[in-house]
Amino acid sequence: MIKARGVHHIAFSTADMKGQLEFFSDVLGLPLVAIFPMHGVPGGIHAFLEGAEECLISFVQLPVMAEIEIEFGKTHAGSGALPSAPGTLQHLALVVDSDDELLAMRDRIRSRGVNVMGPIDHGMCRSIYFAGLEGLTLEIATSDEAVDPKHWIDPEAAAEVGITGEALDRLAKPTGFERPAEPVPQPPYDPAKPHMQYPKEVYEQMLAMTDEQIAEASSFAEPPVP
């Protein structure tokens, strides 16, 4: 079955690229693997640190970001138990392979002067918690085995958010999909569906373009350093 199999990268907005890269590299041990101008975005800088072989932590800096205020309870949660606006990142959990590595990361982070809470045992994982720069709420976790849905899908909790019966079964076993012989065309614009934010005229033009036209206009594959 065709499906997304994991996270390639997660990108955070920042007004302090240097500080964020130093924190994630020195405090958490993630190596910087890329930093380059964002193609087609004036003043934009994009950077990537390696979290795992196929999982990257990314930061995007645009000049205007320095003018946007952080507001806990809206733009940021501030801890793993507090709210932020729907659709925002509540917290990020990184992974290590064992309890020994979890304790080693706790000690590494504390050795850099950053307060750490935990480990805390959640059953499905054991975690430590701490804050990052610019209001990020961060976690490092480890598990002995994969999460077993038989034990961790709680029908009562699902019912509280309106998921019951067949709907719950469908979420646990998504419908399969095989790529058709011909590409699926761009669907008509539907305001009820989620959409990226562009000026209306620009977005209409983009939706009218073919995939090949989008690729030709937007792709930039050459690395910044030959």
DSSP string, 40-91: TSTT-EEEEEEEETTEEEEEEE-GGGGGSPP-BTTTB-SSTTS---TTS---
Q: Domain for residue 216, yes or no?
A: no
Confidence at residue 75, expressed as pLDDT on a 0 to 100 scale:
97
Q: Which residues contact 201 (CB under 8 A, 6 or more apart)?
A: none
Considering the domain architecture, whether residues 92 and 122 belong to the same structural domain is answered as yes
On whether residue 180 sits in a domain, the answer given is no
63/90 same-domain check? no
Rounded Cα gap, residues 36 and 60, in angstroms: 10
Cβ contacts of 223 within 8 Å, gap of 6 or more: 36
Do 81 and 158 have their domain in common?
yes
Q: Are residues 81 and 161 in the same domain?
A: yes
In a domain, 43, yes or no: yes
Same domain assignment for residues 23 and 91: no
Counting other chains too, the contacts that 190-193 makes at CB distance below 8 Å and 24 or more residues apart are: none
Give whole-number Cα distances, 133 to 63, 139, 186, in Å.
18, 13, 40
> Which amino acid belongs to residue 25?
S
Report the pLDDT value the prediction gives residue 5, as an integer from 0 to 100.
86
pLDDT in tens, the chain (226 residues): 788 889 999 999 999 999 999 999 999 999 999 999 999 899 999 999 999 888 999 999 999 999 999 999 999 999 999 999 999 999 999 999 999 999 999 999 999 999 999 999 999 999 999 999 999 999 999 999 999 999 999 999 999 999 999 999 999 999 999 999 999 999 999 999 999 999 999 999 999 999 999 999 999 899 999 8
Contacts of 107-113 with CB under 8 Å at 24 or more apart are 108/27, 108/28, 108/29, 109/27, 109/28, 112/26, 112/27
What radius of gyration do the chain's Cα atoms show? 21
| pLDDT for res 107 | 98
Instruction: Return the structure tokens found at 207.
Output: 């939706």
Residue ending a domain, choose from 68, 86, 113: 68
Q: Taking Cα atoms as reference points, which of 144, 136, 142 lies closest to residue 57? A: 136
Examine residue 174 and state whether it is found in any structural domain, yes or no: no
What is the pTM assigned to this prediction? Answer: 0.92
Within a domain: 25: yes
Where in the sequence is the domain holding 82, given as residue range(s)? 77-165
CATH number of the domain bearing residue 159: 3.10.180.10
Q: Is the same domain home to 42 and 88? A: no
Q: Same domain for 58 and 86?
A: no
Co-location of 45 and 118 in the same domain: no
State residue 3's pLDDT score: 86
Task: Give the count of domains, the chain.
Answer: 2
